[in-house]
Amino acid sequence: MITLHHCVQSRSMRVLWLLNELEVDFRVVPHAFDKSLRSPEYLSLSPAGRVPALEIEGERMFESAAIMEFLCEKFPDIGYGRLPGDMDRMAWLVWLHFAETISQHCAPLTQQHIVIRDDADRSPLVMRLEEARLLKCYDAIEARLSTPVENRDYLLTSGFSACDIAVGQAVYIARHFARTDGHPELEKWYERITDRDGFRASLPDPESALIYTQDFYPPWDS
């Protein structure tokens, strides 16, 4: 049995989405987004105290992109990976890991808007810089999707893949801080990939304690 350790609205959501798409047997162990992730028990699964952590075949994995690569290689028949020798292998690796570029700009915004509670400790400059960096990431996705090639409905010419899941989940978080206005191809792509059962199944249920309780967090002004 595959076991995913998961916090809603975190990077583990991209692994949950992939598992739902793969239609394999797995179970989810929910965790709160709090100091319980620093417990000795959980640190034995993920030494930095972060999600996701995956238990599979008697082994433990952490780091979402590594987990996604492994799962795509373990379950190749559904076609969400691009194995060595595939013409899209290079692009698949690039875009799979580009999700982390987006996420690294979401992290300080999450800290500024949500984790920091004292207004005096917030930095409007950091908020605006990171929002601008997210917009640059949107520009990169827009340029990719605007390339005049056949079947560019997804990040890879060869069709839907784990890249769309990883980057799509990162954009799901980024949209709390940077609007996608002015990126029409990105918006059409995002609507397309989030209209999938796998994405819907990865969303928080109504009982979940959310990290992001607002749809959008505008830059805070001191």
CATH number at residue 54: 3.40.30.10
Q: What is the pLDDT of residues 83-123, one digit of tens each?
A: 999 999 999 999 999 999 999 999 999 999 999 999 899 99
State whether 73 and 97 are in the same domain.
Answer: no
Q: What is the pLDDT of residues 149-186, one digit of tens each?
A: 766 899 999 999 999 999 999 999 999 999 999 999 99
The whole-number pLDDT of residue 221 equals 72
In the structure encoding, which two tokens stand for residue 75, read together?
A: 């379950």
- The answer to whether position 210 is within a domain reads no
- The answer to whether position 211 is within a domain reads no
Mean of the per-residue pLDDT values of the chain:
95
The whole-number pLDDT of residue 86 equals 95
SS3 (DSSP) at 55: strand
Report the C-alpha gap between 65 and 15 in whole angstroms: 8
DSSP 197-210: HHHHHHSPPTTS--
- The answer to whether position 209 is within a domain reads no
The whole-number pLDDT of residue 150 equals 63
Report the C-alpha gap between 166 and 215 in whole angstroms: 20
Q: What is the pLDDT of residues 1-53, one digit of tens each?
A: 999 999 999 999 999 999 999 999 999 999 999 999 999 999 999 999 999 99
Residue 7 lies in domain: 2-78
Number of domains in the chain: 2
Report the C-alpha gap between 97 and 70 in whole angstroms: 14
Residue 199 C-beta-side C-alpha neighbours within 13 Å: 19
- On the question of pLDDT at 222 being above 60, the answer is no
Backbone φ, ψ for residue 26 (5° rounding): -155, 165
Instruction: Give the orientation angle of helix 184-193 with respect to helix 162-174, to 10 degrees.
Output: 110
- The answer to whether position 84 is within a domain reads no
The whole-number pLDDT of residue 63 equals 97
CA 13 to each of CA 30, 80, 121, 201: distance values in angstroms, whole numbers, following the listed order:
11, 16, 29, 10
Left, alpha or beta for 9 (phi > 0: left; psi -120 to 50: alpha)? left
Q: What is the pLDDT of residues 187-210, one digit of tens each?
A: 999 999 999 999 999 999 988 999
The whole-number pLDDT of residue 147 equals 79
Q: What CATH number should be reported for the domain holding residue 168?
A: 1.20.1050.10
- The answer to whether position 193 is within a domain reads yes
State whether 57 and 93 are in the same domain.
Answer: no
Q: If pLDDT is split at 50, 70 and 90, which confidence band does 220 have?
A: confident
- Looking at 50, 78, 106, the residue that finishes a domain is 78
Q: Count the neighbouring beta carbons within 10 Å of the beta carbon of residue 156.
A: 22
Q: If pLDDT is split at 50, 70 and 90, which confidence band does 58 have?
A: very high
- Looking at 78, 102, 126, the residue that finishes a domain is 78
Q: What percent of the chain has pLDDT over 70?
A: 98
SS3 (DSSP) at 46: coil
Q: If pLDDT is split at 50, 70 and 90, which confidence band does 219 have?
A: confident
Nearest to 219, CA basis, from 156, 129, 98, 141: 129
Q: pTM, whole model, 2 decimals?
A: 0.96
State whether 162 and 72 are in the same domain.
Answer: no
Report the C-alpha gap between 221 and 103 in whole angstroms: 23
